[in-house]
Every structure is written in structure tokens, then in C-alpha cells.
Structure 1
Amino acid sequence: MTPADLAAHYLTDVRERMRGVKRLGDGALAQLPEGGWHTPLGPDGNSAAVLVQHLSGNMHSRWGALRHGYRTGAEGEHPGRNRDAEFEDAGRTEAELRVHWEAGWAVFLAALDHLEPDDLTRNLTIRGETHTVVQAVQRQMAHYSGHVYQLVLLAKTLRGTDWQTLSIPRGGSAAFNAERMGAGGRGPQGVPEAEHDPGLTRSR
């Protein structure tokens, strides 16, 4: 595999995995009970509303300049961003918060989709600190995944016994493995695994 092939493979994998992370977040948000959007787990915790505000604000700031492709001199901290306000519950409705959620992910995923393999070693800055594009992508993959798993924990705790798992259910690993490894390892009914369950819809 050439370096160019490896870079293209990396971008394909990142796009698929981060769409999977979004689906995981979608599944968690869909199970929040009534009033759950604004309920933290503790006095210093973040509610789902706050996490959505922060993710959306970060995604717009970090990736807005690259939404239509790499741009020389891009800065990942938009001067108009008010990060501190993202951590204050603004009392938005569920509908408003879903708009923020979708809009933030749209910016981030569009930026990933427009990156080319050669862009990965080019530079951008975040708060004036120089990063290669691949470093910025890795940094935000970890950041966004962490907050989405916070959303999962929050929604699961608030939902209680009514929670519907987004992963392999307890006691279901053997059946899941048998299903996946059946039909010559191509998943159920011979469907390739990537088509059957792309990304991170199920945690391993």
C-alpha cells in the first residue's frame, strides 16, 4: 500500500467511524425521557442540552473553515465563538437542540468528506497552535467520541430499566458472534459486515 493509498484508506475509515459515532449519539438522544435534555447527573455535571451545545459550537469553530475543502491558514478557533456559554444551559427546546446537533455534525462531516489525502500533512492552527490536518482530525475524533459516550451514559442512567441497548446486550455475545461469523464471515445472509453495521453503532 502506497502512502497515498494509506491516506485515502484513513480518510474513508474516519468518515465511516465518525458517522457511526453520530448514530450512537442519535440513539442515545432518542431515548432521553421527558425533561431529560436538561437533567444532569450531578450538580457539576453536563446535561444533554449542554453537551449538544458544546459539540455543535466546537464543530462549527474547528471545521467551518474547511467545510468546502482545505484552506491555507485555516484557524480552528472562530473569533466569534463563546465557548463558556456552551456550558450554560440556554433553555432551548428539544427541537432547537436537535437543529444544533444536526448542524454541528453537518459541518464536521462535510469537512471530512472534502479532505483529500494530500491535505492530511498540511497545516492549520487551533488557538494559534499549529497542527497537521491529521493531528486535528485525531484530536477531535477523541473529543467528540468522549462526549457522545457521555451522552450514552447520561441517557442510559436517566432512562433506567426502559433503556434499549445500543450495543451487544448482556449475555448476547455468543449469538452476536455466531451471527457475524456465519455465511463465511460475511455477516447475516451473506451481507458484508461494513454494510450490515458500519461504524460504531455497536460498541465492542
Structure 2
Amino acid sequence: MQTFGEGFLKDCIKRFRYYKELGDKTFEQLKEEDFFYQPNLSSNSIAIIIQHMYGNMLSRWTNFLTEDGEKDWRKRDAEFEAMSISREDLLSFWNEGWKCLLTTLESLQPDDLMKTVTIRTEPLLVYDAILRQLAHYPYHVGQIVYIGRMIRDNEWSSLSIPKGESKIYLDSVKKAQQNKQ
């Protein structure tokens, strides 16, 4: 039987993987130029959001238990500047950031959850630092999905239950559960 701490870590990893998958499924629907679309001058493009998440993930999760989550080498302001970069480079950033996060989470033990880490000198219990990022990354993934959906418009393939199809979805889930019994 797993402990609460083991379950917490397992569930957090599952949730983080789900949000990475939403981003991945969005990227599959985009053309290269779509990554750089900005709804207006004060909005971030998907590319800029990826740059920011990459910088945040590397900073937060590198040496997570032993160093402040805001590293001296991080250039946060530069993450919000448009870069001349390819789709492949952006996807590399995306995957490297998630790898850093997931590798760190997978290395944690339940006893680590009550240790104290710092982010920008603020002390946080490890479980709270994890929850902090579990709120931060889905916020940005939601922005990515929203922008992607806006760009693709009628060509968008829903990442969840399409509008108007809730009953069809629920009926199919119920039928699948009945078939398992």
C-alpha cells in the first residue's frame, strides 16, 4: 500500500504529464509561423510562453532541494523577448524543461515533501513548491491551447470533449465501464 506522500508525488507527476500532453497536442496542430502569432502587441506568442516556461522549469527544478529556485543564471526578462528561433528549437526547449521537472519529481522521496526549499528567498515546504508550479504551468498551457485554438479556428481538433458532445462522451464512458464488468 502506498503512503500519502508516494500517492501525492505520483498524482502530481500524472497531472504535470497531462498538461505537457495538452501542449504537445496543440503543437501538433500548428504551423511554424503559428508559434509566433501575437493577438496584440502586449500579448505573448506561444514561442514566448515556451521560452518563459523553459527558463522557469530549468531554474526551479535544477538542484531543487539544494539551491534557490530562482537561479543567478536565469534571465527572466529575456524570456519575454521575441527570439529568432525555429519550431524545432522551441520544441527542444519545451521538452528539455519538462524533462528537468519530471526527472526531479521522479527522484523525490515522500520524506522530501516536508523539507524546506526556497524560491526567490521565500521558504516553502517541498509539497507547497510543487503545488505552486502545478498552478503556474497549467496557467501557461491554457494560454498556449487558447492561442492555438484561436489560430486554427474551424480546423482545431478538440483536446477534450467537443462543444455539444458532452452526452455522447458520457454515454461512451458509461458503455466502456459496463463492458469492463
**Fold shared, TM-score > 0.5 on shorter chain:** yes
Counterparts of 2:87 and 2:176, CA distance in 1: 43
Instruction: Tell me, yes or no, if structure 1 residue 44 matches structure 2 residue 34.
Output: no
- The aligned counterpart of 1:172 is 165
Query: Which residue is equivalent to 2:84?
Result: 91
Report the counterpart of residue 198 of structure 1 in structure 2. none
Deviation at 1:29, TM superposition (A): 1.5
Q: 1:56 aligns with which of 54, 57, 61?
A: 54
SS of 1:130's equivalent?
Answer: strand
Q: Distance in 1 between matches of 2:63 and 2:170?
A: 42
The whole-number CA distance in structure 2 between the counterparts of 1:45 and 1:183 is 42
Q: 1:162 maps to which residue?
A: 155
Cα displacement (A) at 1:34:
4.3
Offset of residue 74 of structure 1: 2.5
CA separation in 2, counterparts of 1:125 and 1:183? Answer: 45
Q: CA RMSD in A?
A: 1.7
Could you tell me which residue of structure 2 aligns to residue 21 of structure 1? Answer: 19
Q: Distance in 1 between matches of 2:177 and 2:81?
A: 51
Identity over aligned residues, as a percent? 37
- 5+ residue gaps, structure 2: none
Q: Which residue pairs with 1:102 in the alignment? A: 95
The size of the alignment, in residue pairs, is: 181
Q: Deviations 1:115-153 (Å, cap 9, x if unpaired)?
A: 111111101111111011111100001100000000000
TM-score normalised according to structure 1 size: 0.84
Cα distance between partner residues in 2 of 1:89 and 1:144 = 20
Whole-angstrom CA distance in 1 between matches of 2:180 and 2:168: 16
Q: TM-score, normalised by structure 2?
A: 0.94
Deviations 1:66-117 (A, max 9, x none): 3xxxx4x421011100000000011111111111010000000111111111
Unaligned 5+ segments in structure 1 are 192-204
Instruction: Give the Cα separation in 2 of the matches to 1:88 and 1:34.
Output: 18
Alpha carbons of structure 1 residues 99 and 34: separation in structure 2 relative to 1, 3 Å? closer
Q: Is the 8 A contact 1:75 1:127 kept in 2?
A: yes
